[in-house]
Amino acid sequence: MTEQAAEKLEQVQAAAGPVTEAWRKTELARHPQRPDPMDFIGSLFTNFSEIHGDRAFGDDLALKCGMARFHNEEVLVIANVKGRGIKEKIRHNFGSPNPEGYRKALRAMKIAEKFGRPVFTLIDLVGAAPGLGAEERGQAEAIARNLREMSRLRVPTIATITGEGGSGGALGLAVSDRVLMLENAVYSVISPEGCASILWRDASNRALAAEAMKTTSPDVKALGCVDDVVPEPVGGAHLDEAASIAMLDEKLRWHLADLRSLPVEEMVRRRQAKFRSIAQFYTS
C-alpha cells in the first residue's frame, strides 16, 4: 500500500469513528449473505400455503403469511421479505411493510386463532414503510391495532428477530408470548445512523449511537425486551446457515412445548404482564 493510500484509509477510518461491539453486530445483522426470514421458513417449516391480501386494499409483497407445518404440527408463519438482488429488494420494498401488510398479518393471525394454531413471526426489517402512501392508508393505526390484538390472541405466539428489529415496524409483529433474538441480531427503536443524525447531526457517529442504544442481544435481554437469545455459529449465521437453522429449530421447539403446557388464560395473562412491565423504572 502506498503512503498516499494508507493516509486515505486512515482518513476514512477516522471519519467512520471507533468500531464498537454493537456496531460490529449491526454489520453482521446486515450481512448480505445472512439467512433471511424466508430462508428460515424454507428450512424449518413444510407445506407452506400462502395467505394473500388484507381484504381492504391489496397484497403487500414485503410481508408473507401462510399456514405451514412445524414438526407435523399445524401453525401460522409470518415473515417480512427483503429480497436479495436490487430488483427483488425494490419489488419487496426492502422488507418494510405497508399498512396492508400489517392488516394481512392480523387477518392471518385471527384465522390461526380460530383454528387453534400457534403463530410464529420471523423479523428482519429496518422499520415500517415510511412513505406518504403508507401514512395516507393508516400506517400508525395498522401497527397500533396489531399491538393490541396480538396481546389478546388465545394461541401460543413466538417472534424471532433474525437480523434487524427496527422500531414499531418490528414491534407490530413481535407482541408475543416469547420473543427470541439471534445472537448477532439487533433490536432498537431507530437505526444507529438515524440516532446519530439526531443526537450529533452526523450519521458517521453510528457506532457510538449503536453502543449507546444498547441494541445487541445481551443488552436487549437484560432490559427484558426479549426472552431468549439463540446462539449462532462462530463468525455469524452466514458462515454456517444449516447450523444456525438447527439452533433456532431447537429453541422454537422448546418454547412452543413450554407454552403448550400453560392454560390459555394464564398464557395470555403472562404475555400482557410482560409487555406492561418492560422498561419500567423508578426514581426516589
Per-residue pLDDT of the chain (284 residues; tens, 9 = 90+): 466 655 554 554 444 456 788 888 888 888 989 998 999 999 999 999 999 999 999 999 999 999 999 999 999 999 999 888 899 889 998 888 999 999 999 999 999 999 999 999 999 998 888 899 999 999 999 999 999 999 999 999 999 999 988 888 899 999 999 999 999 999 988 888 888 899 888 888 888 888 888 889 899 898 888 999 999 998 888 999 999 999 999 999 999 999 999 999 999 999 999 999 886 666 55
The one-letter code for the residue type at 9 is L
Dihedrals phi, psi of 276, to nearest 5 degrees? -70, -25
- The single residue listed with the C-alpha cell 409483497 is 61
Find, among 122, 108, 198, the residue nearest to 161 by Cα: 122
Tell me what pLDDT residue 281 has. Answer: 62
| 3-class SS of residue 131 | coil
Classify 55 in phi/psi space as left (phi over 0), alpha (psi -120 to 50) or beta: left
Query: 157 by DSSP, 3-state: which?
Result: strand
Q: Which residues pair with 179 in a beta bridge?
A: 159
Whole-prediction pTM:
0.88
Beta-ladder partners of 166 = 188
pLDDT at 284: 52
Nine cell digits for residue 198: 439526531
Name residue 121's beta-bridge partners. 78, 159
Alpha-helical regions (H) of 3-53: 3-16, 21-29, 37-44
Amino acid identity, residue 59? D
Q: Do 134 and 128 form a contact (C-beta atoms < 8 A)?
A: yes
> What pLDDT score was predicted for residue 193?
87
Size of the chain, expressed as the number of residues it contains: 284
- Transcribe 185-244 into DSSP letters: -EEESS-HHHHHHHHTS-GGGHHHHHHHHT-BHHHHHHTTS-SEEE---TT-GGG-HHHH
Tell me the three cell numbers of residue 31.
450481512
State how far the Cα of 27 lies from the Cα of 21, in Å rounded to an integer: 10
227 burial level (CB within 10 Å; 0-12, 13-18, 19+): middle
The predicted structure's pLDDT at residue 12: 42
**Strands 63-70 and 73-80, how do they pair?**
antiparallel
Q: How far is CA 32 from CA 82, 85, 113, 238, in A?
A: 11, 10, 35, 9
Residues 28, 26: Cα–Cα separation, whole Å: 5
**Residue among 127, 131, 139 at smallest CA distance from 164:** 127
State phi, psi for 89 to the nearest 5 degrees. Answer: -60, -45
